[in-house]
Structure 1
C-alpha cells in the first residue's frame, strides 16, 4: 500500500482537446495548470516524434505513456517502440478495438491478451511496458456471462492495465470493485467523470469532480494499486481549458 500522503504525477490525455488545434500550443497552459505530463494519442505524435518530444521538453512536461493502435503493436512493434523511446514514454497502451473487429467469444479476447503479451515481451527488451486501456464494452457480459476485460488480462499475464473509471461507470459497473480486483495490474488510472444520466451536453461526460463518481471513496483504493500516475480525460469537452483546470484542481484538492 502506498503512503496515504503520496502525490502522483498527473497527465493530461491530449485526445481531450483534439478539436482545438494547434495541440503544441496547449502545452504551456497545461503546465501552468499544474500538469506534469501529456498522454498523447495517435496521430498527435506520429508525424514527427522528435518534434513532439521537443515540445514537451520546451514546456517542462513528460510523457509517461501513450495510446497507440493495437495493430501497431501486433504488426509494427519496432516502429512504436522507437516512438516510445523518442518521446520518452515507458508505457505503450493500445486502447480500443473497433466494433466491426470485436470478437464475441472468450477465446477471441484471450487471444487479444496473447497478442498484447507478445508485444509486451518485445517491449520489455527496451525497458518498456504494455498496458490495455478499457472502454465500456470490456465490462459488459458476453453471451456466456463472462467479461472481456478478465479474458484480456488472463491472456496477457505480463500486460498492465490503465483503468478508465468513467467508462466502467458508463457500462453500469463499479470502479471501486474493479480497482480492488485489478489492484496488482493497474499501472495508470484515468480519472474520467460521467455526468448524471440523461445529460447530453459534452456527450454526457464531465470534468473530474463535477460528475457522479465518488472520487473521495476511490482515492484510498488508488493507493492500493500499482498505479504510477493519474490521467485526466474528457472525450468531448466544449471547452478544453475549463475541463483541464477544473479536473486537476479537484485532484489536487483530494491530495493526489
Structure 2
C-alpha cells in the first residue's frame, strides 16, 4: 500500500484484541495459494464486511490478509465466517506500535483467526534515516520476532521502496534488516522492491525459504494498477515465488475507483497465466 496512506490507516484502525500453528522457514512447500490483502477493499469493509468477503470468495480467492478491519465482529465470529466462505486468514498487518504495546492481544487474535503470521507493514520516518536509528529498529523487530515465535506465531516484515533506497555500509537496509533479525520472515512487496530499483524475482530467489508471503502489486509510475497493466515484472516474480517456498501470493492494489473489480481483474490475470 502507499506508505503514507498505510501509516494513516494503521493509526486510525484499532485492532481488536483477538492462529494457527507457528510456521518456520519453509522447505518443499506446496504450490502457493492466492489471497487478497484487504487494504485493497478498506472503503467497503466498514459497512459491508460480510458482503464484501462473500464477493472475494466468489471470485476464487483462497484467503485474505487483514489490515485491521473486522466488521465489528468478534474474533470467533470472523473465524467462523471465514470458514463458511472457505477462506483462510493468511496473516494480519499490525503496526510496530501495536506489536510492542499489545503483543499478547495480537498473538491471541492471530491464533483465533488461524493466521500463522503477524506482519509489521511500515516504519515511521522518524525511526529511519541513519544507521543508528535503523539498528534500533532491527533490535526491536528481532525481539518481537523471538517473542512471536515463542508464542507459536511468525513475525514478518513488509517492505516499501525506502528499505531499498536507504543504505547501511553500502547495502540496502532491506538486506541489513534481515541479516540482523534472524527471527524475522520476509513479506516481499514486489512493486515497492521494483520502485526501489531492485529486481523482485532476484530477491525472492535470494530469500528463498524465508519468504512465506509475497504481495503481488503492479505500478504505472507511482500509481497502483491491476496486475499485468503496469511496469512491474509480475510474471517473472510469480515464477520465482513458485520455486522459492512462498506460501501465499497476496494481491494488493492500494487505490482503485472500483476495488472489487480491480481485485477480480488481477485474479483473472493470474488465471490467464496459469498461476491459479
TM bracket, shorter-chain basis: 0.7 to 0.9
Equivalences, count: 247
Work out the CA distance in 2 between the residues paired with 1:20 and 1:45. 10
Shift of 1:145: 4.1
Q: CA deviation at 1:51?
A: 2.9
Measured in 1, the distance between the counterparts of 2:204 and 2:216 equals 12
| Alignment match of 2:39 (pick from 11, 15, 25) | 15
Choose from 27, 46, 66 the match for 1:40: 66
Aligned-residue CA RMSD (Å): 2.2
SS in 1 for 2:88: coil
Q: Please state if 1:182 is matched with 2:201.
A: no
Write out aligned runs for 1:134-213 (5 A): 134-142=159-167, 145-195=170-220, 197=221, 204-213=223-232
Do the aligned partners of 2:213 and 2:250 also contact (CA within 8 Å) in 1?
A: yes
TM superposition outliers: structure 1 runs of 4+ over 6 Å: none
CA pair 172-46 structure 1, distance change in 2 beyond 3 A: farther
**Is the 1:73–1:116 Cα contact (8 Å) retained in structure 2?**
no
Give the conservation status (yes or no) of the 8 Å contact 1:106–1:146.
no
1:12 offset after TM fit, Å?
0.6
* C-alpha distance in structure 1 between counterparts of 2:31 and 2:128, whole Å: 39
Q: Secondary structure at the match of 1:186?
A: coil
Q: Is the 8 A contact 2:190 2:234 kept in 1?
A: no
Equivalence map 1:245-256=2 (5 Å): 245-256=264-275
After superposition, give the CA deviation of every residue in 1:139-171 in whole Å (9 maximum; x if it has no partner): 113486432212221221011000000111222
Give the 3 Å change call, closer, same or farther, for CA 67–129 of structure 1 in structure 2.
Answer: same
* Contact kept? 1:169, 1:194, Cα under 8 Å: no
TM-score, length of structure 1 as denominator length: 0.87
1:1-256 matches, within 5 Å, as: 7-21=31-45, 22-44=48-70, 48-99=74-125, 101-142=126-167, 145-195=170-220, 197=221, 204-256=223-275
Contact 2:31 2:242 in 1 (8 A): no
Supply the distance in 1 between the matched residues of 2:169 and 2:70 (Cα, whole angstroms): 38
Normalising by structure 2, we get a TM-score of 0.82
**Structure 2: which 5+ runs fail to align?**
1-26
